[in-house]
Amino acid sequence: EDQVTQSPEALRLQEGESSSLNCSYTVSGLRGLFWYRQDPGKGPEFLFTLYSAGEEKEKERLKATLTKKESFLHITAPKPEDSATYLCAVQRRGSNYKLTFGKGTLLTVNP
């Protein structure tokens, strides 16, 4: 069974203090790894898709990287508006296109 573990569960940063979120996964045949951002009471908002080890993608202050066992979401000089829960999900190769999600990392950025 596919498994996704995110750490830490919660992270509190000062504005401008860079850090990384971790997503460890176990899946037999990775089709893609997805990062989403979720604000309280809202639907997950798509950030990135990574398909193969070594791949990196960037968007503003966020950079996602992928290895064969884990993915990192690096946040550079975060701002208070980056506060949210960040979700990682994997999609397995095959005919079922479901996403298996981790429980997320709650990021709080203080001004």
Partner 1 sequence: DSGVTQTPKHLITATGQRVTLRCSPRSGDLSVYWYQQSLDQGLQFLIHYYNGEERAKGNILERFSAQQFPDLHSELNLSSLELGDSALYFCASSVGNSQETQYFGPGTRLLVL
Contact residues toward partner 1 (CB under 8 A) are 31-32, 34, 36, 41-46, 49, 87, 89, 91, 95-104
Question: At closest approach, how far in Å is the CB of 75 from partner 1?
Answer: 21
Q: Pick between residue 1 and residue 68 the one whose CB is nearest to partner 1.
A: 1
Closest CB to partner 1 among residues 49, 76: 49
Phi-psi bin for 61: left (phi > 0), alpha (psi -120 to 50), beta?
alpha
Least distance CB 93 / partner 1 (angstroms): 9
Give 43 or 111: the residue with its C-beta nearer to partner 1: 43
Q: Is 70 left (phi over 0), alpha (psi -120 to 50) or beta?
A: beta
Q: Is the CB of residue 102 less than 8 Å from the CB of residue 23?
A: yes
CB of 39 to partner 1, least distance (A): 10
- As measured in angstroms, the least distance from the Cβ of 32 to partner 1 is 5
Angle at CA of residue 92, ends 52 and 50, nearest 5°: 30
- Strand bridging mode 105-110 / 84-92: antiparallel
